[in-house]
Structure 1
Amino acid sequence: MGDAKTEWGISTKLIMCFLRHLSEKSAEETLESALLHKEKIIAVGLDSSENGHPPGKFFHVFNRVREEGFFVVAHAGEEGPAEYVWEAIDLLEAERIDHGVSSVDDPDLMEELREREIPLTVCPLSNLKLRVVEDLKNVPVRSFLEKGILVTLNSDDPSYFGGYINDNYLQTAEALQLSRNDIYTLAKNSFLASFITEKERNFFLEKLLNFENSFV
């Protein structure tokens, strides 16, 4: 991480995640170990197989996570139901939802995400590979955009799911026939959803806008 910053100007912070198929006690032990490296960690999340492991299972340990000053994220609504997204934002107080595609099944949840400006980090090629959807046309990115939800495109694990971020943008844009403004909005949302300082956010948003305007 230090070399990337020095040599390439790439800043990095880690999101440490609990494995939800393990116990809350295991998560508590993981958190204790992670605190030794607290300066490198920006957020704590929840991942691994959703079904049968609702976010509420980790209610107490995420209270501690927030007390330690970390941002909270959670995988929810990928293979699990929209109810898991509700639990993540209400019980864990997640500030960002990873995946969240099943949110489209619950109009009230869609409105809640919009009103509270809770981002969704959607991973289209991952969803396709894991058969969350049968076709990229079924990834609800357009629905999220139309509802004013802060949706972003992401690569998840590129080596496993067959595509880096550019591949996700290109293939999703083609499948959903996204406009140039849609693509700009998705890129802009990624900075709005990022856990960076306001100064950094404004810097990158200005660079993005200048890049977009160069094509006008």
Structure 2
Amino acid sequence: LHYYYIGMSVLISDSDFEDLAMDYFRHAAADGVAHAEVFFDPQAHLERGVSYNTVLKGFSAARARAQKEFGITSELICCFLRHLPVPNCVSMFKDADVQASFKDGSITGIGLDSSEKPFPPALFEEIYAGAKELGLRRTAHAGEEGPSTFISDALDILKVERIDHGIRLIEDEALLQRIAKDGTMLSVCPLSNVLLRCVKEVKEVPIRKFLDAGVKFSINSDDPAYFGGYILDNYCAVHEAFNLSVAEWTSICRAGIEGSWCSQARKDEMLARLDEV
């Protein structure tokens, strides 16, 4: 994370953010991505004097280009940095420009990222309650480096609809069964789990346990420009570690589509393509 924040210091104008996002979309297109739900951290830029609208303008331009040039649809997820003071996060949530982007549909949902410990989900209850009232979709990083209780707190206190990472779910059998029963999707990022030393190798990511328990999850990249693992790299690493069957991969891809936040019409298009494979 230290180098992540150093690297972003070169991002100043909206064209910088457009270039950054287009670089990602080019990689995504090369990997066969049809739809992407992209996280971004406005606070890291606001602290540098870069306005929220500058960031949003650049990303929005790139999204439009990606759909036109590559056929990739996308959604933006506005994240809050849990290592910053909670009042800072609340202030950003209530900012007029941020609220406008929530209400005009530029932003689909909110997330919670950065260092998970020692910042429990309950600290951000006010923000998530406000987001729910606005009709925003809600997810949060939980159970990556933090305990499984952070997963249940994200569900019960923040009322999230998805869990990012969630690999420590296997520490709580009752919670594992609850997640499976409720159909809550996990966004699993195997290569970053290894690089952040949450596990020693991809084989330790509980992919098989999740499949056996009926937990829905998708395979994702996580800061790929830093961690060196775009989406296809993650798919290949998982396949090498677990030798999944076509049926298992189909199930994972189906869960990812169904758990996405795009329109039902777009989901139906992608599900139809999946059925053709």
Q: TM-score, normalised by structure 1?
A: 0.94
Which residue of 5, 10, 17 maps to 2:72? 10
Which residue of 67, 81, 87 maps to 2:133? 67
Answer with 108-117 or 176-185: which moved more: 176-185
RMSD: 1.1
The one-letter code of the counterpart of 1:193 is G
Inter-partner Cα distance in structure 2 for 1:207 and 1:13? 20
Please show how residues 22-171 of structure 1 align to structure 2 within 5 Å.
22-33=84-95, 34-38=98-102, 39-171=105-237
Give unpaired runs (5+ residues) of structure 1. 212-216
Please show how residues 169-184 of structure 1 align to structure 2 within 5 Å.
169-184=235-250
The one-letter code of the counterpart of 1:171 is A
Q: Deviations over 1:24-44 (max 9, x none)?
A: 221111112322322210010
Contact 1:24/1:61, CA 8 A, preserved across alignment: no
Query: By how many angstroms is 1:10 displaced?
Result: 2.0
SS for the counterpart of 1:13 is strand
Contact 2:191/2:221, CA 8 A, preserved across alignment: yes
Aligned length: 211
Give unpaired runs (5+ residues) of structure 2. 1-62
Query: By how many angstroms is 1:126 displaced?
Result: 0.4
SS for the counterpart of 1:40 is coil
Query: By how many angstroms is 1:9 displaced?
Result: 2.4
The one-letter code of the counterpart of 1:28 is V
Q: TM-score, normalised by structure 2?
A: 0.74
Inter-partner Cα distance in structure 2 for 1:152 and 1:3? 25
Inter-partner Cα distance in structure 1 for 2:235 and 2:81? 28
Inter-partner Cα distance in structure 2 for 1:4 and 1:202? 20
Query: By how many angstroms is 1:160 displaced?
Result: 1.4
Inter-partner Cα distance in structure 2 for 1:209 and 1:163? 27
| Distance change (3 Å), C-alpha of 1:177 and 1:6 | closer
Q: Deviations over 1:50-89 (max 9, x none)?
A: 1110000111121111111100100000000000000000
